[in-house]
Structure 1
Amino acid sequence: MARKRPAPRSPWRRRFGITLKILIALGLLGLGALAVAVYVARAQLPSFEELKSSPNGQMIRVHASDGSIIVSLGPSYGEWLSYRAIPAVMRDATIAVEDRRFRSHPGVDPIGIARSVMIRYERGRWIQGGSTITQQITRTIFLNNQKKFGRKFREWILSLAMERKFSKDQILELYLNKVYYGGGAYGIDAAARKFFGHGAGDLSLAEAAVIAGLVKAPSNYSPTADADAAVGRAGVVIQQMVRNGYISQGQAAAADPEGLKLAPTPPQNSARYFTDWALPQLDTLIDETQAPLEVWTTIDPAMQRQADEAIRANAPAGAQGALVSLDRDGAVRAMVGGKDYVTSIYNRATQAVRQPGSSFKLFVYLAALEAGHKPEDTVVDEPVTIDGWSPRNDSRRNSGNVTLRTAFAYSLNTVAAKLGQEVGFTTIADMARRFGISTPVNTHPSMVLGTSDVRLIDMTRAFASVAAKGVAVVPYGIVRVTANGETIYTHEVDRSRVLVAPYVAAEMTDLLQTAVNTGTGRQAQIGRPVAGKTGTTSSSKDGWFLGFSSGLTTGVWMGRDDARPISGLHGGTAPARAFAAFMKPATASRPIEQFDTQVTLPEWQLEPDEESYFGTPDNGGGAGGTPLVDENGNPIEQPVAPAPVDPATQPEGDRPVAPERTPQQQLDDLIDSVTNPDDRRQPAPPVRQQPPRNTPPTVQPVPRQPSDDRPTQ
């Protein structure tokens, strides 16, 4: 009987067999390559003692201008604890919550990786990374936190090599002494001292659970930042310890994370606003990223305290305040970004962008002066409409022919609009950018009244450049940097960039002097020559004062972070008072410096604008602060103002009381008070009937006098 021939093999089975053999061969080759890579990495790893001494980050000590230390930043290290000196509850809590199979896996946990992949598939995003304790310390010492496969593969190789070279106890010792626990604290001893005020050798179960829970998200679970989140996370750690058999349920119940007493937080001062602004600049100034740095800065501790006090004492309730003061070369001598750094680290001096109101007229008049105008030039103060926009003066009246000096002193909006139309709104925007405004500047006609958002530090820089006679001033905070006793950076002041001709800057200073001496900024007087400008936005949302004296330029802003109106806030009130409160002591030790141009009085037949006495907005608002343009610069219809009552037709009892001194005597008194530094008496305002404090002012007109017999104001 013939033998039955076997059935021929299916071609698919043959192909599958070949594929399987290839895969097995590739797997063996891959395992061989992995083994070679691991042992090569093992041979290149530093010794355990070398890993113990390697730094985790860069220490930075910041010095003030007098050499005192403002703050020390960077990693904080506690005492190195050997494995046996680390409390068992700390070791167990860490293993329970971070890597419960730590004692059994070879450095990489396949089960943890598989679980992470499954969760990623179910949730659609990475929730768990599956990293072991060995992988985490490997990443801390050798790698970074980039989520790329190449970095992850190197992490696996190094983790397997670490497990081949060091014992589990050594790896856990490295981990607990080097991992980051938040607040600048590296290692459990630094964390215990920061959060609980004692070393890690005395940690209780609850304290160990809080610290172990920080590794996952140090900023989210920090007990000083969010006590409830820290306690909740500690509860998760304790339950994991029960589940893994490290503690009993009774021990877990006895632990009381909520009853823990935290170490008091050291007070933070407002100089941190300055360091938060200055220190990031190191990335562009130097290349050193390892050696400890000594950073010498421009900040003056006495001026910083005075600035802090000036803002806190003068900012209205519910409002924030900011101040920047620059020396003549751009050195930042004081910077306050808010009332309290502890409650808000938002730096309103360098980060906030707000409308500047009439302080923006600096650029309008600079452009006009550069175009050939002079402070004595006459322009007609009259109703004006530009592309459908009709600004009004704050006094809601027009005064005919006035000089530019008078128009600037009393912040006449119609004149600013006419100048903007004449020189070009694009020219004004270019002038603002030339002087350092880094935010976008619109070219709507209403831009002349300060409708573009700006930063306080930029506006202060612009005024400082005028004070420097038209030479660009660039704010800086870092003078020099040393590393290991060697100077690696020194700041050099650049005085080569001329923004406007010196005579233009001198004429602008002339106008700014008048605004402080007789106009809207009179509360900024400090007993020595001052030049400056107020700014108030519609509905009193922002108040500004910027000015300079004796080589020091200071800008002040006040307002609410949510931009809600603040009753009574105007540039000529609280900001001007804060400016004076700061500048008086700040300039006390400096010699009095006269400006290139002497104070020249404006035309006193002109009725001053509302803000001179009552503080209404000076950016184009109508009665009661109602804006004449919306936030996009479009005109808003306003009610027609009632016609003023002629005093001659008033009943005798309703007429304003005339001053006892003659108009000429009043003018003589005013000139004497302005020009005589030993006599700082204020000029008397025109006769008005004062309104109640909480009601809109009612202005009583002053009869127009003959040209040779003008009232003092």
Structure 2
Amino acid sequence: MAGSRRPRARLSGNGGRAGASTSRWRLSRRWKRVIAVGGGFFAVCVALVAGLVVYGALTLPDINSIGQKTGTIRLVDVHGTVLAEVGHDATNRHNVTIDQIAPILQQATVAAEDRNFYNEGAINPARILKALVDDVILHRPAEGASTITQQLAKQAFFGTDASKSPLRKVREALLANQLDSKYTKQQILEQYLNINYYGENAYGIENASMAYFGKHAKGLTLMEASLLAGLPQAPSYNDPYNNPDAAYARMHYVLGSLVAVGNIKQADADAVDPLVGGSSPTPEQQTAQQTNQQALHADLQNGKPNTAGPAPHFVAYIQDQLQQIFGATDPQYLQGDLVVTTTLDLATENLANTAVAKGVAKLLSSGANNGALLMINAHTGAIEAMVGSASFTNNAIAGQYNIVTASRRPGSSFKPYVYEAGFKNGTLKPDTILQDTRAQSQKYGGVTDFDSRFLGPMTAARALTLSRNVATEQAADKAGIQNVIDLAYGMGISEKLTPQEPNLSTAIGTSAVRMIDHASAYAAFANGGHKVVANGILKITDGAGNVIRDYSTPANLGDVLTSQQAWTITSILRGYAKQWNLHFRYDTAGKSGTTDHFIDAWYMTYTPDWVVATWTGHTSGSNSAEQGMNQVFGTATGAAIAVPFVNSLSKPSAFKPVTGALSDCSQSDSALVSPSGCPTPSPSPSVTATPSSSPTPTASPSPSFTLPAVTPTPTPTPSIAPTPTAAPPAATAARREEVAVAERRRAG
């Protein structure tokens, strides 16, 4: 037993160092496990980073495409006047070489963005580390860690992608290194200045210089350069118009940076901004600074940048067309310069801009804050003027949104398709009697008119001229609502139209259409029945002048109406302007349209030469909900925009009656429509009273109806339209009818 006893561990004389040694051995074993796990984790991280770098390197875009992506497309009007020079990346830019940029602007940019630009590589590890410490540890806004080369890589190849993913950052760094290896510092700076965004839709220093100061980049002064060089860091925040204090504070920083790196002397900076020195300002210095800032503000072109260019919505429209023609990857589109000759007439465009701006201003007190206008050639569809909003740069009204290509309810401006469908298939004639009665209204779900009255029996021609809803739905019923829809499609309407039976509300304009399609369809009325599609490009040439696309001869799309059918509608609509007291200088045909709650107010007008579509409404850049106007009918849009614009144009061709059209009538009805084309007399009393000059019920305000119809657009479901406020005698169609009847009774 004793021999089998285990020997006791001997205590060492050092008080148990053997135990301590064992403990250290055990501790080190634990650390080995930690180290092993940590090492494995580190190895995995290294492998992941390596894989990320390898994958990023394999998926890099070709840096040679940087020159292609910043190439330019020159858009010119029909006479060769330059409208815009834009990049292939759809930005509004005009590239210049480095020697076309003022040296002080170059110096200001480098001083503000990357002081070590000329002495460092593509990336700056110290700046990156400092930015990480500021952002992650100190939780304070980090100064930019990117060099100018990195920023060029980011903007040229990733655009507006704000992602901060590890892969994006790796690819950005790799591209920056490639750029730094391939190009000189001056070449990199040149590309950077051409690609930078300076706010207010100005890309590139040349565009920014022209927009803000009306001069080329080569002629910028120290004051101007220090302001512009400070904008790219935060273009919206530093906007000198919306936030001048921020813009001047940033300019102050740029001037200080120029002094710090030795590009200018302190006295030079003080001459621009006396407070750059940093000492407590004297009253004299404060006064001098205010004087300089006022001078700078006055120097800014027109107090507001004209960065939008002369036809911004049209330019954007053409860019979309080019993408459709070439595709985003077509080498012919990406490489080299292109010249696109468009159909736009800049002089006409300027007249249209003026008409929309002044017209909306007239209606501002009634709740309108936005407007649009489109003019096309009635025979070719060529767009001669396009104004998509009252102000392209006004974000409060979502000014960059193009109403011309948007889907909006047309209201009663849709009604000509209804009557034309009936004239075409023989179910209607201008003298067909329709019933504007309560009984007829109930048949179609309770539809009413703006005045909530019923005028009794009337001819189809009168129903169209007075824009009566109940009678129009009966007309649609006779013609066949699907026939109406098919005709509208055939004439050019592209948005989905729904019959909305049994109330047939599509007949009175509750289904949305695009203005550009609406105008194209009206062109068939104007030109005698030939179908046209609105278009904006005549030809495209390459940098060598070779024509690579030619659209100068429009495609023959055939006829959608006979000349007699087209003239029947025109003969009625020629009397519309007179009926509603619109004072055009020339003989025009037209139709208004007003949607429920006065959300949309249209006026369409045409001659044998052209079609003009106009619109007013209330839009918001911060609220997608539609807001109605206060009693703004379609004829108010006609009076405020269409009439001044048309009256500023040269005299168009005269209408020529067409033999065989449904237009015979007696002289007793000549007050209803033009003598050259009017319906036969009807039992309904004719209109004899002179209409009021006020923008009172138009032939289009008739969006009013009571049924809860579901419409394909997001606008509110139609309900009874607002009844116009008290108007002068003869201000409404109903009142005019009453006056006419009373006068006839007295005469009898």
Aligned to 1:368: 422
- Structure 1 residue identity aligned to 2:384: R
Question: Residues 146-177 of structure 1, C-alpha deviation per residue, up to 9 Å, x if partnerless?
Answer: 4354443233234345667888x768855775
1:550 aligns with 2:614: no
Structure 1 residues 29-48: aligned runs within 5 Å: none
1:67 aligns with 2:80: yes
Shift of residue 291, structure 1, vs aligned partner: 1.9
- Structure 1 residue identity aligned to 2:93: P
Equivalent pair of 1:214/1:222 in contact (CA under 8 Å)? yes
Equivalent pair of 2:410/2:595 in contact (CA under 8 Å)? yes
C-alpha distance in structure 2 between counterparts of 1:411 and 1:477, whole Å: 33
Aligned to 1:649: none
Shift of residue 194, structure 1, vs aligned partner: 5.8
Structure 1 residues 140-289: aligned runs within 5 Å: 144=159, 146=161, 147=163, 149-160=166-177, 178=194, 180-182=196-198, 195=212, 207-223=224-240, 226-237=243-254, 253-255=274-276, 256=289, 258=293, 260=296, 262-264=299-301, 271-286=311-326, 287=330, 288-289=333-334
Equivalent pair of 2:594/2:701 in contact (CA under 8 Å)? no
- Structure 2 residue identity aligned to 1:373: T
Aligned to 2:145: 130
1:475 aligns with 2:534: yes
Deviates more, 1:419-428 or 1:384-393: 419-428
Shift of residue 100, structure 1, vs aligned partner: 6.1
Classify 1:124/1:530 alpha carbon distance in 2 versus 1 (closer, same or farther; 3 Å).
farther
Aligned to 2:442: 385
- Residue from 477, 493, 498 that aligns with 2:554: 493
C-alpha distance in structure 1 between counterparts of 2:720 and 2:189, whole Å: 70
Question: Residues 585-610 of structure 1, C-alpha deviation per residue, up to 9 Å, x if partnerless?
Answer: 75636465434525133426523579
1:411 aligns with 2:456: no
Question: Residues 319-361 of structure 1, C-alpha deviation per residue, up to 9 Å, x if partnerless?
Answer: 5543322221211122334556676854665156544332121
Shift of residue 80, structure 1, vs aligned partner: 2.3
Classify 1:518/1:330 alpha carbon distance in 2 versus 1 (closer, same or farther; 3 Å).
closer
Shift of residue 572, structure 1, vs aligned partner: 4.5
Classify 1:23/1:487 alpha carbon distance in 2 versus 1 (closer, same or farther; 3 Å).
same
SS in 2 for 1:324: strand
Shift of residue 486, structure 1, vs aligned partner: 1.6
- Residue from 299, 304, 329 that aligns with 2:380: 329
Classify 1:620/1:101 alpha carbon distance in 2 versus 1 (closer, same or farther; 3 Å).
closer
Deviates more, 1:289-298 or 1:388-397: 388-397
Classify 1:524/1:163 alpha carbon distance in 2 versus 1 (closer, same or farther; 3 Å).
closer
- Residue from 448, 471, 483 that aligns with 2:507: 448
- Structure 2 residue identity aligned to 1:463: Y
Deviates more, 1:350-359 or 1:136-145: 136-145
Q: Tell me how large the CA RMSD over aligned residues is.
A: 5.4
Aligned to 1:702: 741
Q: How many residues align?
A: 641
- Structure 2 residue identity aligned to 1:254: L
Classify 1:490/1:587 alpha carbon distance in 2 versus 1 (closer, same or farther; 3 Å).
same
Equivalent pair of 1:395/1:608 in contact (CA under 8 Å)? no
C-alpha distance in structure 2 between counterparts of 1:313 and 1:189, whole Å: 31
Classify 1:429/1:612 alpha carbon distance in 2 versus 1 (closer, same or farther; 3 Å).
farther
Equivalent pair of 2:68/2:334 in contact (CA under 8 Å)? no
Equivalent pair of 1:57/1:290 in contact (CA under 8 Å)? no
Shift of residue 373, structure 1, vs aligned partner: 0.8
- Structure 1 residue identity aligned to 2:437: E
1:603 aligns with 2:618: no
Equivalent pair of 1:270/1:340 in contact (CA under 8 Å)? no
C-alpha distance in structure 1 between counterparts of 2:138 and 2:482, whole Å: 53
Shift of residue 451, structure 1, vs aligned partner: 3.2
Aligned to 1:398: 455
Question: Residues 268-319 of structure 1, C-alpha deviation per residue, up to 9 Å, x if partnerless?
Answer: 7764443333333211123413422211111234544554565567663425
User: Please, which runs of 5 or more residues in structure 1 have no aligned partner?
Assistant: 642-688
Structure 1 residues 293-692: aligned runs within 5 Å: 293-308=338-353, 311=356, 316-318=362-364, 319=368, 320-327=370-377, 328-338=379-389, 345-346=399-400, 349-351=403-405, 353-375=407-429, 376-383=431-438, 384-386=441-443, 388-392=445-449, 394=451, 396-400=453-457, 402-422=458-478, 428-429=484-485, 431-439=487-495, 441=497, 443=500, 445=503, 446-484=505-543, 485-491=545-551, 493-496=554-557, 499=560, 502-503=561-562, 506-507=564-565, 509-517=567-575, 521=579, 530-537=588-595, 542-561=600-619, 563-566=627-630, 569-572=632-635, 575=638, 579=642, 582-583=645-646, 586=649, 588=651, 590=653, 593-595=656-658, 597=661, 598=663, 599-603=677-681, 605-608=683-686, 613-614=691-692, 615-619=696-700, 631-635=716-720, 691=729
C-alpha distance in structure 1 between counterparts of 2:187 and 2:705, whole Å: 67
Aligned to 1:648: none
Aligned to 2:5: none
C-alpha distance in structure 2 between counterparts of 1:360 and 1:272, whole Å: 28
Shift of residue 467, structure 1, vs aligned partner: 3.7
User: Please, which runs of 5 or more residues in structure 2 have no aligned partner?
Assistant: 1-9, 87-91, 277-288, 621-626, 664-676, 709-715
Equivalent pair of 2:373/2:615 in contact (CA under 8 Å)? yes
> Scaled by the length of structure 2, what TM-score is found?
0.68
Classify 1:602/1:335 alpha carbon distance in 2 versus 1 (closer, same or farther; 3 Å).
farther
Shift of residue 532, structure 1, vs aligned partner: 3.1
Classify 1:242/1:9 alpha carbon distance in 2 versus 1 (closer, same or farther; 3 Å).
same
C-alpha distance in structure 2 between counterparts of 1:619 and 1:394, whole Å: 12
Shift of residue 616, structure 1, vs aligned partner: 1.6
Equivalent pair of 2:597/2:722 in contact (CA under 8 Å)? no
Q: Which has the higher helix share?
A: 2
C-alpha distance in structure 1 between counterparts of 2:63 and 2:340, whole Å: 34
C-alpha distance in structure 2 between counterparts of 1:532 and 1:118, whole Å: 68
Classify 1:14/1:632 alpha carbon distance in 2 versus 1 (closer, same or farther; 3 Å).
same
Classify 1:521/1:349 alpha carbon distance in 2 versus 1 (closer, same or farther; 3 Å).
farther
Classify 1:235/1:544 alpha carbon distance in 2 versus 1 (closer, same or farther; 3 Å).
same
Deviates more, 1:488-497 or 1:325-334: 488-497
C-alpha distance in structure 1 between counterparts of 2:729 and 2:238, whole Å: 55
Classify 1:35/1:220 alpha carbon distance in 2 versus 1 (closer, same or farther; 3 Å).
closer
Equivalent pair of 2:433/2:459 in contact (CA under 8 Å)? yes
Equivalent pair of 2:525/2:570 in contact (CA under 8 Å)? no
SS in 2 for 1:254: coil
Question: Residues 67-111 of structure 1, C-alpha deviation per residue, up to 9 Å, x if partnerless?
Answer: 33344444334562599x945x964x5456434676886543345
C-alpha distance in structure 2 between counterparts of 1:186 and 1:527, whole Å: 43
C-alpha distance in structure 2 between counterparts of 1:603 and 1:200, whole Å: 70
Equivalent pair of 1:480/1:489 in contact (CA under 8 Å)? yes
C-alpha distance in structure 2 between counterparts of 1:697 and 1:123, whole Å: 75
Aligned to 2:666: none
Deviates more, 1:576-585 or 1:359-368: 576-585
Classify 1:573/1:243 alpha carbon distance in 2 versus 1 (closer, same or farther; 3 Å).
closer
SS in 1 for 2:373: strand
Classify 1:122/1:332 alpha carbon distance in 2 versus 1 (closer, same or farther; 3 Å).
farther
Shift of residue 477, structure 1, vs aligned partner: 0.6
SS in 1 for 2:602: strand
C-alpha distance in structure 2 between counterparts of 1:591 and 1:489, whole Å: 34
Classify 1:232/1:425 alpha carbon distance in 2 versus 1 (closer, same or farther; 3 Å).
farther
Aligned to 2:669: none
C-alpha distance in structure 2 between counterparts of 1:466 and 1:488, whole Å: 34
Equivalent pair of 1:363/1:432 in contact (CA under 8 Å)? yes
Question: Residues 371-416 of structure 1, C-alpha deviation per residue, up to 9 Å, x if partnerless?
Answer: 541314333342221464242475933333x432332233232211
- Structure 1 residue identity aligned to 2:275: A
